[in-house]
Amino acid sequence: MTNWAFVTGGAGDIGSAICQTLARDGFGIVCVDLNEERAEAVCSGIRMEGGQAVSFRVDATDPASVSAAATEAMKLGNITALVNTVGRAKGTSIFTMDYAIWREDIAANLDSAFLCIQAFRDQLIAQQGSIVSIATVNGLGVFGFPGYSAGKAALIHLTKSLAVELGPHGVRVNAVAPGTVRTRAWNARLEANPGVFDELQALCPLPRISSPANVADAVAFLVSEKASMITGQTIAVDGGLSAGIPAAGRAVTQLSHRS
């Protein structure tokens, strides 16, 4: 019997890597996204590799849309994994954000996960499944985008709250917090400053930019049996950025990195 994973934002760069990785691990994939065409392209790639995958157009911030997709998805078979990948950052500063932008940031990064968790709660309990939400280092420390960061910080707290509440029902709830990942979400900033990745990787203990596959591997681990005793955790996939910034350590100690 196939175990199915419901992946929101599955047409995006990180979401599609999650779909592909979980499919290779044997999951059937329900890839849902606002972008129906790209979601279907992800699924057809998986099917060409011999996997099972179905796409739906879903607005993860709309209760009716999530509920309709969940009903259809549960007809396919047992949903044992829910991966909340939908998210985006809009408001850049308190000086330019209005309430509408704030609401959009909170809806995309927090409400979407809440709605999907509610829709699959009973199914995940029945299947003793697990939930992974894609957070960000902005939910752990301050790296810009105040509304996005507040939404993701709340998502990390929701992860802990629900791990405690759902653990006794046999459901694990975790999050992955990426640092900078090379995706199309960076296109506008790359265009404005072609050196943006060089600047950001210089801040990291591992001076590299993550790939979507790096994030997908952490998700695959968390939904697997290998993580069967892990719940309520947020794994940072950030090259060590949330641990500290090498230049800050050097400034404090006044030692060069080789001494």
Token reading at 207:
């001076």
Distance CA 171, CA 127 (A): 8
Using CB under 6 A, count the residues that bind ligand NAD.
28
Looking at 5, 6, 7, 13, which residue binds ligand NAD (CB under 6 A)? 13
Q: How far is the CB of 76 from ligand NAD (least distance, A)?
A: 19
Token reading at 250:
């050097």
Q: Does 204 bind ligand NAD (CB under 6 A)?
A: no
Compose the 231-250 pattern: x for residues touching ligand NAD by CB under 6 A, - for all others.
--------------------
**Which of residues 67 and 126 has its CB atom nearest to ligand NAD in the complex?**
67
Q: Are 246 and 257 in contact (CB under 8 A)?
A: yes
Q: Does 59 bind ligand NAD (CB under 6 A)?
A: yes
Q: How far is the CB of 61 from ligand NAD (least distance, A)?
A: 4
Helix (H) or strand (E) holding 16: helix 13-24
Distance CA 89, CA 188 (A): 12
Q: How far is the CB of 208 from ligand NAD (least distance, A)?
A: 13
User: Where does the chain show beta strands of DSSP type E?
Assistant: 3-8, 28-33, 53-57, 78-84, 130-134, 172-178, 234-237
Residues 6+ apart with CB under 8 A from 71: none
Q: Which single residue is written with the structure tokens 């994939």?
A: 29
Residues 6+ apart with CB under 8 A from 56: 30, 31, 32, 36, 39, 69, 72, 73
Residue 107 CA, distance from chain mean position: 15
Q: How far is the CB of 17 from ligand NAD (least distance, A)?
A: 8
Token reading at 187:
């296109």
Distance CA 69, CA 56 (A): 7
**Which of residues 14 and 235 has its CB atom nearest to ligand NAD in the complex?**
14
Beta bridge partners of 172: 130
Instruction: Give me the catalytic one of 4, 114, 143, 148.
Output: 148
Residue nearest to ligand NAD as judged by C-beta position: 12
Looking at 5, 22, 79, 108, which residue binds ligand NAD (CB under 6 A)? 108
Looking at 12, 129, 147, 239, which residue binds ligand NAD (CB under 6 A)? 12
Q: How far is the CB of 136 from ligand NAD (least distance, A)?
A: 4
Contacts with ligand NAD in 127-186 (CB under 6 A)?
134, 136, 178, 180-181, 183-185
Q: How far is the CB of 126 from ligand NAD (least distance, A)?
A: 25
Name which of 224, 190, 212 is nearest 42 in CA terms. Answer: 212
Q: Does 85 bind ligand NAD (CB under 6 A)?
A: yes
Assess whether 99 carries a catalytic annotation.
Answer: no
- The catalytic residues are 148
Q: Which residues of the shown chain bind ligand NAD in the complex (CB under 6 A)?
A: 8-9, 11-15, 33-35, 58-61, 85-88, 108, 112, 134, 136, 178, 180-181, 183-185
